[in-house]
Structures are given as structure tokens and as C-alpha cells.
């Protein structure tokens, strides 16, 4: 099941931050905010995020969970280079508040 990228209607009523869940869940769950950056042909996947690529998620979310929420096709996920805060990461890498996730295709023309 794919979860849509947050839009203006999907934000916490108490914090006003964008959230990948319904407003009720945003307020009921402890959330964290990360920054998501990507390039090339994957850029459209983050176009729906607020300026700066900020995304609110439930605490304990993984890189793989973010890729799934952003609707990265499963066959593309194996071709990605993943970084969290400038260090190589894996889909199982747990994210914490303030992290920056960067991903791009390992196979990109230039």
C-alpha cells in the first residue's frame, strides 16, 4: 500500500509541520522531521514535499520506509545510492529527528 506524499492538508494541527499521516495521527504519534534530497530522474518523487524537502515521520522510521512513502518503485530501490547525514546508508538504517536523507540512482547518465 502506498502512502501519498504529504500536502497542505496533511499537517499536524498542533505543530503545523508537514506529516506523512492524517492530522489525527500526526498529533497522536511522536514525530520527527527529516530533510529529503534527490536528483536527476528521481527529483519528481520529492516535488510534493514542502520547500527544503522537509518531511515529518513517525519516530523510528527507516530509510526504506521513506522510499516506500515516496513511492520509489521497488525495482528502483535496489539501484539507489543512499546517504544519511553524508554517510552511506541502507534501507534498514533508522532515521532520527534532523537527519538528511540523500538518494540518487547509481546508474545515471551525465
What lies within 8 Å, CB to CB, of 110 at 6+ separation is none
Q: Vertex 51, ends 54 and 41: CA angle to 5°? A: 85
Contact 55, 66 (CB under 8 A): yes
Q: What is the pLDDT along the chain (110 residues), one digit of tens a residue?
A: 344 444 444 555 555 566 655 555 555 557 889 999 998 888 888 888 887 889 988 888 999 999 999 989 888 888 899 999 999 999 999 999 999 999 998 875 55
- In the prediction, which pLDDT does 110 show? 54
pLDDT of residue 29: 58
Question: Would you call 1 exposed, middle or buried from its count of C-beta atoms within 10 A (0-12, 13-18, 19+)?
Answer: exposed
Maximum separation of any 2 CA atoms in the chain, in Å: 45
pLDDT of residue 16: 58
Amino acid at each position: 500500500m502506498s502512502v501519498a506524499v504529504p500536502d497542505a492538508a496533511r499537517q499536524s494541527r498542533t505543530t503545523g509541520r508537514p506529516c506523512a499521516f492524517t492530522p489525527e495521527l500526526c498529533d497522536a504519534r511522536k514525530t520527527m522531521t527529516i530533510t529529503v534530497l534527490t536528483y536527476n530522474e528521481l527529483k519528481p518523487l520529492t516535488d510534493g514535499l514542502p520547500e527544503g524537502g522537509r518531511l515529518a515521520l513517525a519516530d523510528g522510521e527507516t530509510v526504506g520506509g521513506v522510499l516506500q512513502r515516496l513511492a520509489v518503485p521497488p525495482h528502483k530501490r535496489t539501484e539507489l545510492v543512499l546517504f544519511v547525514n553524508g554517510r552511506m546508508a541502507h534501507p534498514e538504517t533508522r532515521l532520527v529527528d534532523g537527519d538528511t536523507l540523500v538518494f540518487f540512482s547509481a546508474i545515471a547518465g551525465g
